[in-house]
Amino acid sequence: MANAKDYSVIVVEDETFLSKILSERLEDEGFKRVDVAGNGEEALQKIEANPPDIVLLDMILPKMNGFEVLHELKSNEVLSHIPVLVLSNLGQDQDIRQAQELGAADYIVKSNFSLQKVVNKIYELLDGDSEESDAK
């Protein structure tokens, strides 16, 4: 399993309640760097300035939504290799399909996943052994 201290992560989430508890947990896990962005534009700026090893991306965001951020990232030659784990409470089939078509590595409906499962999924993606989406 990937060692957290070798990796950096960015949490893109506008709900401060959620970004706070998630980033705290990732810090406790020992990640090398945990960045937080509260909107799509800020997320892109931070990712371009300091590319992380994985992006945790909400979909409903101010200024630029998650689908647009995902599109921008996957269209950027330098950044397109970074795995993007979508963490959203939009759970409609078409939302999940659209994110996957745009290149999301996986899609998690936040309310259905414990923090531990989110962390496990991050390790799985960093190990590069993610199989097909188990979004639910």
Per CB under 8 A, residues contacting another protein are 15, 17-18, 21-22, 24-25, 28, 60, 89-94, 97, 109-112, 114-116, 134, 136
Nearer to another protein by C-beta: 1 or 17?
17
Q: How far apart are CA 90 and CA 49, in angstroms?
A: 29
CA distances from 135 to 48, 112, 131 (A): 28, 9, 11
Task: Find the shortest distance in angstroms from Cβ 31 to another protein.
Answer: 14
* Residue 109 dihedral angles phi and psi, to the nearest 5°: -85, 115
Q: How many beta carbons lie within 10 A of that of residue 93, not counting itself?
A: 8
Q: How far apart are CA 28 and CA 94, in angstroms?
A: 35
Nearer to another protein by C-beta: 50 or 112?
112
Nearer to another protein by C-beta: 25 or 74?
25
Task: Find the shortest distance in angstroms from Cβ 124 to another protein.
Answer: 17
Task: Find the shortest distance in angstroms from Cβ 19 to another protein.
Answer: 10
